[in-house]
Amino acid sequence: MAASTHWLATATAQAVLERGGNAFDAATAAAFVLHVVEPHLNGPGGDMTGVFTTAEDPGRPVILMGQGPAPAGATVQHFRAEGLDLVPGSGALAAAVPGAVDAWLLLLRDHGTWELAEVLDFAIGYARDGHPALARVGSTISAVAGLFREHWPTSAELWMPGGRIPEEGELIRNPAHARSLQKLVQSGAGIGEAVSSAAHTREARIDAARREWGEGFVARAMAKAVQTPHRHSSGTDHRGVLTMADMAGFRASYEDAATLEFRGHTIAKTGPWGQGPALLQTLAILGGFDDDRLDPSTELGAHTILEAQKLALADREAYYGDADVPLDYLLSAEYAASRRELIAESASHDFRPGRVHGREPFMPALRTEYVPPALAGDDGGSGLSSGVVAGMAGVGEPTLGEPTPGYPTLGEPTPGYPTLGEPTVEATGETRGDTCHLDVVDRWGNMVSATPSGGWLQSSPAIPELGFCLGTRLQMTWLDEGTPSTLTPGKRPRTTLTPTLVLRNGVAVTALGSPGGDQQDQWQLLYLLRTIVGGYTPQQAIDAPAFHTTSMPGSFWPRTWEPGGAVVEDRLGDDVIAGLERRGHRITRAGDWALGRLSAVVRDPVTGVLQAAANPRGAQGYAAGR
């Protein structure tokens, strides 16, 4: 079974499974296809996190760590000297070391069975021969067309050939991207000329491609490209700081998962260098309530869930990062009980991190609006037209909440809320997202959940010889000294990418995840509550009405928040929504089918029966299997 956010990725994964490949071959092939067919949501210059189990050890969840660190030159002092008070949401200065490609190749080497050429053949074909453009690709390009024309000419040449924006269904090609993948394949295929036949193995060929990525033509092109100053979301021009040494110094890795027991299930997530444990903290808080307070379809359940999420996300901001995080205490029953006591009958509008002995929680600047210093009082002299400002604003990962006043989200607005430079989107059920996701389980019981993101076409100027651009994950960090997520060379930004694995009786039974930035774990929480507590089927849980809180500082530039804010699908019901408003929640209605892009695969370890489910919102996600 395979499920993902794009039908071509799911079809690719299923084709690999049908031809005898395992879940890791299939997931890798699908991931490289997602780079091609959802270029506005992810790319090879981005990052990913995954969680998997193998058929040989189905009770051990393993994290695939594809989040690159900050480059050596990415210091608080450098950014401050550039006149910045936040890491920009777009431009190469915000680029972490790209981690996705090396992570996928590591997984393929160690757990796959196919040759790299076979795995990449699907993506190479779609990039070289073309694939039908999604409507959202065209609208995203339209939103940043002015930026591309005025400031990022390489992106204009790649994504607006002849000045045209691709229309929905039009075949779009990216020959440079195809050539980049072919070079990686060739780097492995040619090693037999230089090494003994004994070393000329599948694993050695994949390692050769990894070296070419990190030390060869890709690294050279990236290091050269960032030296050209270009416009950032700050409204100012900067060079990037990524170097070949940064690229050569990074390798993806495996880590133990953070886990929590909930209602007879083990939930596995990344460590606190990602936001994953915030889901575990929320479950720990909710675990002390009776089941009637865990139903997302009721006023009491939705209120309780929203309040628990606020508390966990406040702790995320206060304590999480690539640092010494007191996770054992944050996940303890004692701490969860103390947080549970804070949930009252009315909605909190406060930022309330908990207290950990011997530590002071980081308290970020709580902005409801943000204007970059360079644009404060701007009278047009910055060289930014209003359309370009709109395109720049949130060129980082778009959020699924009410747009920040004056700085709408880019290309992926909440239905019913207009963005500058793009027509109003009516609440017609069209999906909104900002990342990709895929889940695969094979006949042997191998299971993988992965969330690729970053390096989307609107994040930084395209690198012509590669056919893609760098990501902007450093915007997850702060330029305040002494926080757990302060920008620090060699440290990973606190990523929002957060796939989930569920185990029962010591065996993996579910892999799931969703795009959505800060909302990823919030929507996955609803799935877990509905399936584990409510008895829903996977598809019923994905289809059910969704909601999330915006009452926390956003992880993405411009890092604003909406105190007491909650975004809901209208299908939650007028009575429930009115009840939430009476309790003090500041409600934004998103439309009937607007929130969440979950997918999941499920395996019954007793019968061996497999299931898969995908998001119907937007008619783009797809699940397949037999």
AA letter at 15: A
Say how many domains are in the chain. Answer: 1
End-to-end CA distance of the chain: 7
pLDDT tens readout for residues 591-619:
999 999 999 999 999 999 999 999 999 88
CA distance 106 to 68: 14
CA distance 456 to 263: 38
User: Does residue 40 lie in a domain region?
Assistant: no
Which DSSP symbol is given to 6?
A: S
The predicted model scores a pTM of 0.92
Q: How many Cα atoms sit within 13 Å of 182 on the Cβ side? A: 13
Nearest alpha-carbon partner for 602 in 534, 536, 548, 554: 536
User: Does residue 212 lie in a domain region?
Assistant: no
CA distance 306 to 587: 12
pLDDT of residue 385: 35
CA distance 313 to 67: 20
pLDDT tens readout for residues 279-291:
999 999 999 999 9
Q: In this structure, what CATH number is given to the domain that contains residue 537?
A: 3.60.20.40
Which 3 state secondary structure label does DSSP give 413? coil
Give the tokens for residue 333: 């029953």
pLDDT tens readout for residues 385-420:
333 333 333 333 333 333 333 222 333 333 322 222
User: Does residue 590 lie in a domain region?
Assistant: yes
pLDDT of residue 235: 95
User: Does residue 47 lie in a domain region?
Assistant: no
Nearest alpha-carbon partner for 24 in 372, 396, 448, 381: 448
- Mean pLDDT in consecutive groups of 10 residues from the start of the chain, 626 residues: 97 98 98 97 97 96 98 98 96 98 98 98 98 95 96 97 95 98 91 56 96 98 98 96 98 98 98 98 98 97 98 98 97 98 98 94 91 66 36 36 31 29 26 76 97 96 98 96 96 97 97 96 98 98 98 94 97 98 98 95 95 94 95
Give the tokens for residue 565: 């804010």
AA letter at 2: A
CB atoms within 10 A of CB 299: 18
Q: In whole angstroms, how far apart are CA 282 and each of 101, 187, 262, 384, 528?
A: 32, 46, 11, 42, 11
User: Does residue 26 lie in a domain region?
Assistant: no
Domain that holds residue 529: 255-364+496-624
Q: List, in order, residues 6 or more apart from 243 with CB less than 8 Å away.
A: 71, 72, 73, 223
In 108-264, the DSSP E strands lie at: 131-132, 171-172, 230-231, 237-238, 253-256, 258-262
User: Does residue 146 lie in a domain region?
Assistant: no
Which residue, chain included where needed, has tokens 């007028």? 574
User: Does residue 534 lie in a domain region?
Assistant: yes
CA distance 136 to 412: 8
User: Does residue 484 lie in a domain region?
Assistant: no
Residue 193, classified by CB atoms within 10 Å of its CB into exposed (0-12), middle (13-18) or buried (19+), is exposed
CA distance 55 to 107: 15
CA distance 389 to 412: 16
Please give the full DSSP string across 286-313, using - where no structure is assigned.
HTTS-GGGS-TTSHHHHHHHHHHHHHHH
CA distance 244 to 241: 10
pLDDT of residue 204: 96
AA letter at 366: L
